Amino acid sequence: MLRLPEDLRGAFKDPLGAVYTDAAALLADAGDPILAVGDVVTYHLRVAGRDPDVSVLDGKTKREAVSEEIASVLAGENPRIEVENEPATLSPDMLDALREAIDRDAHVVIHVTGEEDLATLPAIVAAPDGASVVYGQPDEGMVLVPVTPESRAEARALLQRMDGDSEAGIDRLTRQD
């Protein structure tokens, strides 16, 4: 398990990409596939007509349950992978689920018991070049991170600063079965 150390918490205050308040504008700039981390982000993308290829959801926003409207839009027929992931961590199950979801040829929801906030970094590391990772920036909007060798290197560097065996975690994300 990887754990976020106190001294790294500030690294997540600044967005890793451009911030959007309009889902249609974000989608016009997004690559393919799209990986969404967060319930509200996934909701906005679906309402705008684009179901993310991979959605990482925990049923919460700002540590509170999402509204019934958001929950109803997020309910659906997509295959689900259930994982447990404690707050401020990345569990081996979370990393494996991301790899599995990206490799599937279907829209997949990773449903997290616990917290999904840190899933952005491994999503960037695991996604193919040209993909987009979208996550929420509280009280600001949606952040679009185009997956490039540069954004992947930045995400990998942040993962390597986490407590735990980061190299084993990165290996889980980058393995090709």
**Which residues does the annotation place in the binding site for GTP?**
39-41, 58, 60, 116, 139
Cis preceding-peptide flag for 33 (omega within 30 of 0):
yes
What Cα–Cα distance (Å) separates residue 10 from each residue in 5, 15, 44, 110, 158?
10, 11, 26, 26, 11
- SS3 (DSSP) at 148: coil
DSSP β-bridge partners for residue 146: 132
Report the helix count and the strand count for the chain, using DSSP H and E: 7, 11
What Cα–Cα distance (Å) separates residue 64 from each residue in 23, 34, 39, 60, 113?
22, 25, 11, 5, 13
- Maximum Cα–Cα distance for the chain, whole Å? 40
Annotated binding site: 39-41, 58, 60, 116, 139
